[in-house]
Amino acid sequence: MSSCRIRGRNVMDISPLRAVVAAHGQPAVVALARGTEIAVDAQGGYSPDTVVRIASLSKPIVATAALVLVADGVLDLDDPITDLLPELADRRVLNRPDGPLDDTVPADRAITLRDLLTLTWGFGIDPALRPDAPIVRAAAELELRIGPPLPPVPFGPDEWLARLATLPLLHQPGARWTYDTGSDVLGVLHARATGTPLPELLAERVFIPLGMTRTAFHAAGLPPLYERGPDGLVVVDPADGAWSRPPAFPRASGGLVSTAADLLAFTGVLARSGGDLLPPQLFAEMTTDQLTPAQKGSVILGERGWGFGLSVYGQSRIGWAGGTGTYWFTDLRRGTTALLLTQCMFGPDSDALVGAFERVASEVLT
């Protein structure tokens, strides 16, 4: 495992994490930050500057862009989104999530930006639904790619939204937390609100201000992405695969690639209560559990709460995981951050890895 300094700062000893990462049997980059002290270590052929697919760690970045637009008066948290996304006006809602597509009732109210940020707008991944549920089959037939970021959506944002709009919602707006798809709708909303494609908008409003020079929706020379099969690791996206070229649909839910240095620049702003990027009130809302007990219940979220684009848990922690093998947490009270960046799709053994990583990283950062 190699270590490095970032931007001339001191190197922290994070050797206790090496056994945790090695037990996973995958190349990885590990990063810790405590105040101005930052360390990044890499193993398995990765370097500290390796660019990786960050999957759902894209969500808090896109949510931050939304709050920047709110601060600028471009968007409002509680205004209906239908002025910009008329496709989502006059929603119908399934009487039962697993029921027939024509067994619906009208939505109680319009969808708001707050609903998208809190993933309570009414549609997304519901692990309780069987693969043969009518809504699941219909989404697959429409090639909406609800769920994992592979294979990529084969058409652009407007076509994706038009197809999504042909389906009813699973739940009434504001009724339940349902994972993933709200972030993709949020990305379309960003582009419509500003007249700027999502990749350029994120660059202008988040990446350039924070010095995130290697974060984008595609990159050359990525390491392979693996998943665990019965006979070992299997490549599911090679270096010249889906993330090697600009996507037809830049997925706000999980399409970004990034590096440890760039992600530490982003999480560093969160550790500093929003820094100069977010006003205090908006940062406080982003990092506070926005869900009522009635809205919770998904096995994906577990016992955690949810703010805007990120989970909220413990006494002062925020963070989330990405399905391509990435994990992050920031302790707001201590101003500390930990990153785990692999390129092996999370699977049945991932909870043990994440749990061990968080426990050991917390001990080092204390």
- The pTM of this model reads 0.95
Give the start-to-end residue ranges of the domains of the chain: 2-68+197-365, 77-193
What span, in angstroms and rounded, lies between the C-alpha atoms of 137 and 336? 43
pLDDT at position 9 is 46
> Range with the lowest mean pLDDT among 3-7, 60-64, 215-219?
3-7
Fold of 77-193: Methane Monooxygenase Hydroxylase; Chain G, domain 1 (1.20.58)
pLDDT at position 229 is 87
Render pLDDT for 156-176 as a digit per residue (tens, 0 to 9).
999 999 999 999 999 999 999
Please say whether the beta carbons of 29 and 344 come within 8 A: no
pLDDT at position 99 is 98
Render pLDDT for 303-344 as a digit per residue (tens, 0 to 9).
999 999 999 999 999 999 999 999 999 999 999 999 999 999
For a pLDDT cut of 70, what percent of the chain falls above it? 97
pLDDT at position 2 is 55
Domain 2-68+197-365 homologous superfamily, CATH: DD-peptidase/beta-lactamase superfamily (3.40.710.10)
Query: Residue 260: pLDDT above 50?
Result: yes
Query: Residue 80: pLDDT above 50?
Result: yes
> Residue 242: which pLDDT band, with cuts at 50, 70 and 90?
very high
List the one residue out of 26, 22, 31 whose CA is nearest residue 364: 31
- Mean pLDDT (the chain) is 94
DSSP 118-161: TT-SS-SB-TTS-TTSHHHHHHHHTT---SSS-SPPSS-HHHHH
What is the torsional sign of CA 53, 56, 60, 61?
Answer: positive
